[in-house]
A and B are shown apart, each in its own frame.
Chain A
Amino acid sequence: SQTIHQWPATLVQPVGSPLSLECTVEGTSNPNLYWYRQAAGRGLQLLFYSVGIGQISSEVPQNLSASRPQDRQFILSSKKLLLSDSGFYLCAWTAYTEAFFGQGTRLTVV
């Protein structure tokens, strides 16, 4: 069966520090991969999606970037975090239409 791993679960980072969140999927090949951000009590905002290695589409201009160095690995990064980058970050994968989510990373920028 397919599983998705996302880490770390929580992260507190100072303003201006770099960020790297990692997501890996097991049990499937060539998945579509996604990064979402969720502000407290709000909906899901799609940040990036990828349909293959090295293929990244950005949905909103922002301080973040994404990379897909391997088929089942998706990384969310920032060179310098802003206070507004705080939120709950979710990785997801799809094979066809149904999306399956990781457990999320709660990022607090202080």
Chain B
Amino acid sequence: GQQLNQSPQSMFIQEGEDVSMNCTSSSIFNTWLWYKQDPGEGPVLLIALYKAGELTSNGRLTAQFGITRKDSFLNISASIPSDVGIYFCAGQLSGTASKLTFGTGTRLQVTL
């Protein structure tokens, strides 16, 4: 099935550093979503993007819907220990009203 290429696969950073991750696809997406998953929990929605070029913030998180509609990035500023987890991008492909395609995830570790 359709894959979203998410990078990096994992990141080890120090508390206070900024983080950037992205998702790319060869297909056009109508919607981009970013989720965070804590160990043993279900993913929680962080940011939703609906228009090409849209830039949206949620606290220390900022995400953008790429102008080509084939990519998106998520930035986390001034990371803290509770940012640890797996971050997933997800997108709704043009023409698929019911399904989301998920990226492979970025595992974030924050050291003190």
Interface residues of A (CB under 8 A from B): 6, 32, 36, 41-44, 46, 49, 51, 59, 88, 90, 92, 94, 97-104, 106
- The answer to whether B48 and A98 touch across the interface, beta carbons within 8 angstroms, is yes
- Tell me if B85 is interfacial: C-beta within 8 Å of chain A: no
A98 B98 Cβ-Cβ under 8 A: no
Which residue of chain A lies nearest to B104 when distances are taken between CB atoms in the complex?
A: A43
In the complex the two chains form, is B42's CB within 8 Å of A98's CB? no
Interface size on B, residues (CB 8 A): 24
Additional 8 contacts, C-beta under 8 A, given A6-B42, A32-B98, A59-B1: A36-B102, A42-B104, A46-B102, A97-B31, A97-B92, A97-B100, A99-B100, A101-B42
A residues in contact with B35, CB < 8 Å: 101
Interface of B is mostly: strand
- A43 and B31 in contact, given A51-B98, A94-B100 (Cβ under 8 angstroms): no
A106–B41 CA distance with the chains assembled, in angstroms: 10
Give the distance to chain A from B14, nearest Cβ to Cβ, in Å. 23
Smallest CB–CB gap between A94 and chain B, Å? 7
Which residues of chain B have C-beta atoms less than 8 A from A92's C-beta?
A: 42
Cβ–Cβ contact B100 & A90, under 8 A: no
B33 contacts A42, CB within 8 Å?
Answer: no
The residues of B with any CB-CB pair to A shorter than 8 Å are 1, 30-31, 33, 35, 40-45, 48, 50, 88, 90, 92, 98-100, 102-105, 107
The contact sample of 23 A-B pairs, CB cut-off 8 A, is A6-B42, A32-B98, A36-B102, A42-B105, A43-B103, A43-B104, A44-B102, A46-B1, A51-B98, A59-B1, A88-B40, A94-B98, A94-B100, A97-B48, A97-B92, A97-B100, A98-B48, A99-B100, A100-B45, A102-B42, A103-B41, A103-B42, A106-B40
In the complex, chain B residues whose CB is within 8 Å of the CB of A36:
102
Query: A49, B99: Cβ atoms under 8 Å?
Result: yes
Nearest A residue to B105 via CB reads A43
